[in-house]
Each structure stands twice: as structure tokens, then as C-alpha cells.
Chain A
Amino acid sequence: KAGVTQTPRYLIKTRGQQVTLSCSPISGHRSVSWYQQTPGQGLQFLFEYFSETQRNKGNFPGRFSGRQFSNSRSEMNVSTLELGDSALYLCASSLSHRSGLAGLETQYFGPGTRLLVL
């Protein structure tokens, strides 16, 4: 089974621009979560999507948004980029069920998209 894929792998943008990152989950997985990894703040949860609905949200400004499509693929968008948005953005998928099974599921991570904002 193919793993989680993320595109693009690397991206360079300038301040003020916007960017869209894509994530394809493992086949059959219905939940997609996004994380930001930086040297200063470590790994931080952005949001989770399940059945095209945002199910959980971290403490990030509204410039960070996402969506999920009917095939479970997900995109995240960052508008009005700031220098501090430079990071590795990781996507993770899990099987999930409508009941949530909160905390019991394993999340499988993709290789990440490295974003550099100049």
C-alpha cells in the first residue's frame, strides 16, 4: 500500500504571497491531520479533517486554512505569508471512524513539504 504523499516537497515563496500544499492519505484512510515543524516551536498541530469537515483545530491564526475532498485528499493554504511561516509541514492520515476512537488510532506521516519564506 502506498504511504502518505505530499506535494510539493520543497517550496520557496516571498512574504505576502499565499501557498497551497497537498496531501494524499493512505488508501482507505479518512482522517487527515496537518502539523507544522519548526526549530523553535517544534511540532505543532494545525488541524484535522474527517469526511470533508474540520474536526479539530490548533492555535494558529486564520491565515492557515484547509479543506478535504470527497476522496480524502487534503489541501492546506497559508495566505499572506510571513517569514515565521518557514517550516516543514507534515500531513498524517489515519483510518478513523465516525465515532472518533479518540487517541487510539495511529497516525501515519508523509515526508513533508519544506516551505521557505523570503
Chain B
Amino acid sequence: GNSVTQMEGPVTLSEEAFLTINCTYTATGYPSLFWYVQYPGEGLQLLLKATKADDKGSNKGFEATYRKETTSFHLEKGSVQVSDSAVYFCALSDRKEYGNKLVFGAGTILRVKS
């Protein structure tokens, strides 16, 4: 079946540090890949997505590249801010399946200290 594995947190960084959150996936088909972010007390917000191999998704300084050869979609940001503190979820949607169904990783808590 389909699954997503994320690095365990929490990840604690100082402001302006470089961020990497690892994400790997297993899929029977050819998935689209997503990063969602959840701030305290809120729902999920789409951060970025990529729908085919070698695509790079980017938004608000965050980037992730769809690597089919390593089945990975690692999230990176060059300089984090305190406001980036949140839970980050990697997810996939398998295009072999009809309709919409996201499979999520366990989530990675990011804490940024000033």
C-alpha cells in the first residue's frame, strides 16, 4: 500500500538557521506529493506540491523537489523564522486511485527560537 515516512521531531532551530525535513514515500502508482503545515489550533494549509518527477514546489521560501529515483520529497528552507514554528506534514495522493485521498506522514514539529 501507499505510505509516507517523515523524520521524527521535534526539530529545534535558531532563527535564520537552515531547515531540512526528510520525507520518503512508498506508492504503488505514480503519486503527487504535498507538504502541508498546521499552526497551533488550526487546520492544514497547503505549503507546496509537485505532481511529477523532478518538479520543484516552492512557497514562502520553502522548497521541495520530487525525486522519483530516491522516492523522496524533502522540505528545505534557507533561513527559518520564529513564525515558521508549526507541524509539517508530508503527504501523497496516488493518481491510480479515483478521486481524492491523501496519505499523510506522522508530522514533524518544528520549533524556532529567537
Contacts and interface: CB of A to CB of B under 8 A. Distances in A.
Interface of A: 4, 31, 33, 35, 42-45, 48, 50, 55-56, 58, 90, 92, 94, 96, 100, 102-112
Contacts, number: 84
A42 B105 CA distance: 8
Given A42-B106, A102-B94, A103-B93, A50 B99 contact: yes
Interface residues on B, range: 20 to 34
A33 B100 contact: yes
Nearest to A35: B102
Instruction: Identify whether the interface residues of A are mostly helix, strand, loop, or mixed.
Output: strand
B43 A103 contact: no
Contacts of B107: 42-43
Given A42-B104, A43-B104, A111 B42 contact: yes
B59 to A, nearest CB: 12
B43 A111 contact: yes
B46 to A, nearest CB: 6
B44 interface: yes
